Amino acid sequence: MTSRAPHSLHPPLRLDEAGEPLRLLNVHAHPDDESSKGAATTAKYVAEGVEVWVATCTGGERGSILNPAMDRPDVAANIAEIRRQEMERARDILGIHQVWLGYVDSGLPEGDPKPPLPEGCFGLVDLDEAVGRLVEVVRAFRPHVMTTYDENGGYPHPDHVRCHQISVLAFERAGDPDAYPGTGEPWQPLKLYYQFSFHRQRFVALDAAMRAHGLTSPYAERLAEWEPDPAHEARLTTRIPAADYFAVRDQALLAHATQVDPKGAWFAVPLEIHREAWPTEDFELARSLVPAQGSPEAPEDDLFAGIATRPGPGGRA
């Protein structure tokens, strides 16, 4: 069920009130999501000695092969095992511990009307059973902070929506001693965040920076059709300065070779322009049992903001 990266050599810069390292649990739908959403933030916290686990809901078995160089019959025939191997490489690059929840990819239904989801897939599993499986992970790891997707899944993939649903319910139920007996001692995380990196303001900034450098922006067509949504932008509460770890993010993303074309749109914007134009990864604070520290006007810069800590061997409070 689990995979572990080599033990981190980074001493914790901050400890919780009990003197233990801070802990972060990222819940994702498929292998590669941990690298395309918040990976630089993950790498930053690992470098600070934070213990980071990723819970991956499915094996990505129905994911398309998006890299032309990997679009071969032998790859398609072994996609489930190959995606596990890709996840192991990304895990080691990021320095995380990784847990497979063990569900089967739902695929992305297309057409009008859309076809039904395949029998036995994650999008159709019993919700309470899936929540219990994630609660067991939460109780085993005891994270201070969790991250997942918003109610739309970040985009409306059935696995992303299901991932949101079980993450919110696990956050709410893991601390309840009467919920899910036999899955470990109750543990209540203190904060739950939604991934928020794919928002219009960020792409506007990247587009403008590309043009300022005399380069062709890969986002012009997309932005022409993307109407501003002030209500959505106002949901952003937290910006993590992670530019120093964008290169690690990119290495982890490239480890998912079936999913990422190194010559594609992901890498059309040079790394230095990414760092210059938008040096943060962004989140929405969705639930908090500690006083909120951020707002759209003055975003947080730390997922652990508001949580009582004390200096670790690295000396930062």
Place of tokens 């292998």: 31
* Structure-block tokens of residue 22: 């801070």
What single DSSP character describes residue 157?
A: -
Q: Using DSSP, state whether 141 is helix, strand or coil.
A: helix
Kindly give the residue spans of alpha helices, DSSP state H, lying in 180-227.
200-212, 220-224
* Structure-block tokens of residue 155: 């985009």
Q: Taking CA 164 as the corner, what is the angle to CA 158 and CA 167, rounded to the nearest 5 degrees?
A: 135
Q: Taking CA 140 as the corner, what is the angle to CA 138 and CA 145, rounded to the nearest 5 degrees?
A: 40
Whether the bond into 113 is cis, omega within 30 of 0: yes
Report the alpha-carbon distance of residue 32 to residue 130 in Å, rounded: 21
What single DSSP character describes residue 212?
A: H
Report the alpha-carbon distance of residue 169 to residue 185 in Å, rounded: 17
Report the alpha-carbon distance of residue 132 to residue 112 in Å, rounded: 34
In angstroms, what CA-CA distances link 263 with 36, 67, 268? 16, 9, 7
Of the candidates 37, 242, 254, the one whose C-alpha atom is nearest the C-alpha of residue 154 is 37
End-to-end CA distance of the chain: 34
Strand partners, 310: 15
33 labeled part of a ligand binding site: yes
Residues 57, 27 contacting (CB under 8 angstroms): yes
| Separation of CA 276 from chain center | 22
Residue list, annotated binding site for Zn(2+): 30, 33, 160
Residue list, annotated binding site: 30, 33, 160
